[in-house]
Amino acid sequence: MYTFSESTNRLQTSQNSESRINLISGVKADSSLDTYLKFAIDAQTTGLLESEFAQEVLTVKGGLITPVPNKPSCVLGILSRRRRVYWAVDLAMLLGLQPLEQNILLYEVVLLSAQSLALALVVPKIFGVMRASEHDFETNVNNFPLVIKPYVKGYVSDAGETCYLLKAENILRSTILHS
């Protein structure tokens, strides 16, 4: 399990970790750069979340997510973590992209929270931490598909790939999840 530490600008490992993520270490903190969690949304799409919304990153066995009937197809079920229950959501499916493969043995999960709302976002892969200035991001999302546009704040190019900065609050308040 990993938790984000603002003081060191790194994700830190707890002793009883089940996770297997290799994260950036030894990076000097630059106060002009913001910290983002970088992950795959689907095989072709990379996403970013502002670190202030990423509560925890973990890998869980598929059997720990309990299916719940009569929920939108992007809701995989519920996940219990530290005496709290989260809706486990296939982020790609929520965004109208290629959903996760069926029968995955291990899920990569981002516990996302803002104010009193929280979700467990299930993604195919978590890459680690990325640092960037808010000025690095392009904010013109007019040409994005309508289904994803409400969830994207902007995008940036990192090592030749486009990374989409997601609006955590809009994901948490998605009408798909609250209908």
Domain ranges of the chain: 2-18+33-172
Predicted pLDDT of residue 143: 83
Q: Which amino acid is at 47?
A: G
Given the candidates 2.40.50.180, 1.10.150.80, 2.40.160.210, 2.102.10.10, the CATH classification of the domain at 2-18+33-172 is: 2.40.50.180
Taking the whole predicted model, whether its pTM rises above 0.85 is answered as no
With 0-12 / 13-18 / 19 or more C-beta atoms within 10 angstroms meaning exposed / middle / buried, residue 19 is buried
Record the tokens describing residue 126, joined without a space: 């978590």
What is the band of 2 on the pLDDT scale with cuts at 50, 70, 90?
A: very low
Q: How much of the chain, in percent, has pLDDT values that exceed 90? A: 61
CB neighbour list of residue 116: distance below 8 Å, 6 or more residues apart: none
Instruction: With a cut of 70, say whether residue 22 has pLDDT above it.
Output: no
Contact indicator for 107, 62 with CB cutoff of 8 Å: yes
- Confidence category of residue 173, pLDDT binned at 50, 70, 90: very high
Q: Are 162 and 175 in contact (CB under 8 A)?
A: no
- Please determine, for residue 6, whether its predicted confidence score (pLDDT) is greater than 50: no
Amino acid found at 137: F
pLDDT at 115: 87
